Chains A and B, each alone.
Chain A
C-alpha cells in the first residue's frame, strides 16, 4: 500500500508540474467564469445556461486531462527508461500501475473540485442554491475515473497516440452503448442479438452516470440510483485497472 501511495503521490506531483494541465484548468475556469456573459445571449433562464456550461466544463476538461495526462503515464516511464529504476525498487508491477492510476485520479479529483467549486460558486452568486448540482459533479468524477482507467490500460501496452485514440473511442462507445439495446430489437438472428447483449454489458454504460440534465433542472436524484451509478462506475474502473495490471505484468521490455 505504501508503494502505491508513493507512486501515486509522485505521479500527482509530476502531473501538476505539467503546463498542459494548467492550460486545461485555465480554459475550464475561463469557461465557467465566462458562462455568465454567454448567458446574456439567451432569452429566459440565465442560471440554466451557467449550470449547463459549468457542468460541461467539468466533464469535457476532465476528459481532456484523463486522456492527455493519462495516456503518457506509463509510456513516458518506459520511454525515459525510468521504469527500470522504479521496478528495481521493492515495487511490484501491479503496484506501479495502481499507483499511476491513483495519482491520475488525484489529479482528476483536484480538477473536479476546483472547476466544480467554481460552478457551484457561480450558481450561488446568481442567487440559486447549487446543492442539486453536487450529485452530478460527483458522478462526473466517477465517469472520469472509468475513462482514466482505460487511458492507463491503453498506456500500459501501446504508445500515447494509440492510447489517446483508444480512450476517446471507449468514451464515445460508452456514451452510445445504449444503442445496442435498440439494435438488438432490429437484428434477426439470435447470434447477433447475443452479440448486442454482450457488447452492451461489456462496454461502459457511461450514459448511466450522466445526471446533468436532472441536476440542472433541480430534479432530485434518488439516493438508490446515485449509489448504484457510483458503485457501477467504481467497480468498472477497478476491473479495468486490474486488467491494466495483468497486461503490464505480462509485458516484456526491450
Chain B
C-alpha cells in the first residue's frame, strides 16, 4: 500500500470517526432546561476581577449572551435569574452600561409580568446613573401600562427634575395626575407648562387647552359632590347652586374658564358648563 493511500485512508477514517462521534454527542445532548446555563454564571464581582482590565468588554459579552438566551422563548423558567443577569452581573462589570437595565426591565415587565422586578432594575439604573432621566422615564411608562397612574406621575416627576431632561416630561406628569384622578394637581402641572419659558407655542397651546378642560372637569366634580352632600343633609337637592354656599358646603361658587357660572338643573341635580360643551366633553 502506497504512503499516499495510507494517508488518505487514515484521513477518511478520522473524518468518519469525527462525524459519528459528533452525531452521538448531538443525540446525547439533553433538551435545554432553561436556568441550567445560568447556574454557573459567576457573580459580576468575580467576573470583573477575572476580566483583567477588560470589564467593559466582559459586560458586552455577557449582554450579547443574555440577548441570545432571552430570545429563546422555549426555555423553561427563563425569568428566574433575569434580575441577577441584568441587575447584578452586568452592572458589576459596567455600571454605566444603560441598555441592559431597560432591556432587563422590559423582559421582566412585558414578558414576565413582574412590574416590581422591572422597576427594581430601572431604579438600580437610576441609582448608578443619577444623571440619566431615561430610567425614571421608562419606569413611568411601565407604571402607566400597569394603570398605576400616581406611581407613573411620581416617576415622570423624578425624570423631569433631572438636569437636561426634556421640558415635555412635565406634560407627562400632568397627564398621569389627570389619569389618576388628581385633577387639581394636574392643573397645577399644566400651569407650570404654560408658564415655562422653554416651551414652544404648540406646548403652550396644549397646556392652555388642558388647563381649561381640567378646570371644568374639576369644578363640575366639586359641584356634583357638593350637590350630593346637600341632598344627603337636606333630603332634597338645592334649588340653586348658591344654596351650597349658604349651607356652608362650598366657600364660593366657581366660574367656568370663560367667566360664566356653571349651569344647574334642580330636577336632576346635574351641573353642566357651556365651556365643557365647547371642549367636547
Contacts and interface: CB of A to CB of B under 8 A. Distances in A.
A8 B142 CA distance: 62
Contacts of A42: 60, 63-64, 67, 99
A42 B94 CA distance: 15
Interface centre among B49, B55, B56, B103 (most CB of A within 10 A): B56
A38 B61 CA distance: 10
A217 B53 CA distance: 16
A175 B67 CA distance: 29
B56 A213 contact: yes
B85 to A, nearest CB: 14
Given A171-B52, A179-B49, A213 B96 contact: yes
Contacts of B55: 213
Contacts of A212: 53-54, 56
Contacts of B14: none
Contacts of B99: 42-45, 48
B247 interface: no
A56 B63 CA distance: 16
A206 interface: yes
Contacts of A48: 60, 97, 99
A119 to B, nearest CB: 13
Contact of B60 (A53, A175, A179): A53
A43 B53 contact: no
Nearest to B71: A43
A41 B49 contact: no
Contacts of A49: 60
Contacts of A41: 64, 67
Given A213-B94, A213-B96, A217-B96, A207 B53 contact: yes
B57 interface: yes
A42 B102 CA distance: 13
Interface residues of A, number: 28
Contacts of A171: 52
Interface in A35-53: 38, 41-45, 48-49, 52-53
B214 interface: no
A84 B54 CA distance: 42
Contacts of B49: 176, 179
Nearest to B68: A41
B115 interface: no
A66 to B, nearest CB: 14
Given A44-B103, A176-B49, A179-B49, A56 B67 contact: no
Contacts of A213: 55-56, 94, 96
Interface centre among B53, B59, B96 (most CB of A within 10 A): B53
Interface string A131-169: 000000000000100000000000000000000000000
A9 interface: no
Contacts of B64: 38, 41-42
Nearest to A173: B52
Interface in B70-108: 94, 96-99, 102-103
B62 to A, nearest CB: 12
Interface of B: 49, 52-57, 59-60, 63-64, 67, 94, 96-99, 102-103
Interface of A: 38, 41-45, 48-49, 52-53, 55-56, 59-60, 143, 171-172, 175-176, 179, 206-207, 210, 212-213, 216-217, 219
22 contacts: A41-B67, A42-B60, A42-B63, A42-B64, A43-B99, A43-B103, A44-B102, A44-B103, A48-B99, A52-B59, A55-B56, A56-B54, A56-B56, A56-B57, A59-B53, A59-B54, A60-B54, A143-B53, A176-B52, A207-B53, A213-B94, A213-B96
